[in-house]
Structure 1
Amino acid sequence: MNLLLHAAYFAAVKHSDQRRKNTAAAPYINHPLEVSCHLSEVGGISDEAVLIAAVLHDTVEDTATTREEIATTFGETVAALVMECTDDKSLEKAERKRLQVVNAPKKSPGAKAIKIADKTCNLRSILVDPPAGWSWTRQYDYFVWASKVVAGLLGHHPALDEDVQRVLQEGLDKLQPLAAAEGTA
């Protein structure tokens, strides 16, 4: 428990100057904490390394944190999980998105759980308070892409699988007609 609390504090410091892209511009730390809570509450996951990695899943990707710093502070298992969930920011965005789809089935069960929870939380956020300036079409396109990533993650965590599929379907049902109407306007 102490290491999980330390990870939450570590992530809060690392993400302290970051905000979510939603119209509320919520503190970024809310997202990794939500992902870890989702794993515990919805997925029933109690594996401390997975919960810690969930809290830290964006630190290497979105801050100056290094893999070595994660490994030294939280252990090799956590560092490996974080790196499985980290996009290579040196690549173009389209390539990073393509690689998320390609690499999803290759992830460990722990990393798959984190990625499913991450996608579920991002999808819910889009439905409740989408990123500022995102059209209906962009929101719908994100759901379509996320469904391809999620397809490669399913099969290890039934409760997480069921929840993400429900959120995906809800979003696709809501956004498809809005995006279609937007495209004809």
Structure 2
Amino acid sequence: MKTAMSYEHFIQVAELRTKVLEAAARYDFAETPKALLFAERCHAGQRRKGPAKLPYIIHPLTMACHALALGLAEDELIATALLHDTCEDCHILPEELPVNATVQEAVRRLSFFPEPGVEHSVARDRYFARIPGNRIAVLTKLLDRCNNLSYMVYGFSRDKLLDYIEETERAVMPLLTYAEENYPHDANALFLLNYQMHSTMNSIRALLEREL
């Protein structure tokens, strides 16, 4: 059963949405407005895990605004951030997304589906292995993990927190190193993403160690 959005969440979504649409108008983006409308329709009524029960759309909207704040004001990147979970969460094929082929391909690389007969950890390794080679997919994954790290304390158990940090260090941080080596013009944005992810992981790990 879908629950009504609280007034506080409504305002939060409206503010993020306005930032994205204002940027789209300022830079004359073509893909972003289409992506936003489609993402809103796909994620309608969905909630993030955790006691806050945030409307799910806050996640891709925050990623889009984060990218803009980092100076990554690129139409196809913002559109990919908005759509990155639609295929995985809403059972949609990338080619069904109402955006151009560049965004569809980036979303395809970012969509994880369990593989029948394949161990979950192996499927995850294959998933991360197909992200490099596509700059938009790499940057979107880093934005995604940065946002998820900042929110995971609200919905993860202690073991899940540690597992998520381990996966981040094993599979996501190499993506950041890859980006640093291959996309030097993104150096400032990558520095800030690196700083935020490490700060969050170090803080959570220190708090968990205090509990022992």
TM-score by length of 1: 0.82
Residue ranges of structure 2 left out of the alignment (5+ in a row): 1-28
Q: Is the 8 A contact 2:30 2:75 kept in 1?
A: no
Tell me what 2:124 maps to.
97
Tell me what 1:3 maps to.
31
Q: Which amino acid in 1 is paired with 2:174?
A: A
Q: Which amino acid in 2 is paired with 1:144?
A: E
CA distance in 1, matches of 2:154, 2:189: 22
Tell me what 2:25 maps to.
none
Q: Could you tell me how far 1:74 is from its partner in structure 2? A: 0.8
TM-score by length of 2: 0.73
CA distance in 2, matches of 1:77, 1:179: 41
1:1-185 equivalence runs, <5 A: 1-42=29-70, 44-70=71-97, 73-90=98-115, 93-104=120-131, 106-126=132-152, 129-131=153-155, 134-148=156-170, 149-153=172-176, 154-155=179-180, 156=183, 157-182=186-211, 184=212
CA distance in 2, matches of 1:84, 1:102: 9
Residues 73-96 of structure 1 deviation map (CA, whole Å, 9 limit, x = unaligned): 211111011111111234654334
Matched-pair identity in %:
25
Which structure ranks higher in relative contact order (CA pairs < 8 Å, sequence separation ≥ 6)? 1
Residue ranges of structure 1 left out of the alignment (5+ in a row): none
SS at 1:163's partner residue?
helix
Residues 70-122 of structure 1 deviation map (CA, whole Å, 9 limit, x = unaligned): 1xx21111101111111123465433433344444x23111111111111111
Q: Could you tell me how far 1:50 is from its partner in structure 2? A: 1.4
CA distance in 2, matches of 1:3, 1:165: 28
Provide closer, same or farther for how the CA distance between residues 80 and 26 of structure 1 changes in structure 2, counting only shifts above 3 A: same
The two structures, once aligned, show a CA RMSD in angstroms of 2.2
CA distance in 1, matches of 2:76, 2:128: 24
For these two proteins, the number of residue pairs brought into alignment is 175
Provide closer, same or farther for how the CA distance between residues 175 and 46 of structure 1 changes in structure 2, counting only shifts above 3 A: closer
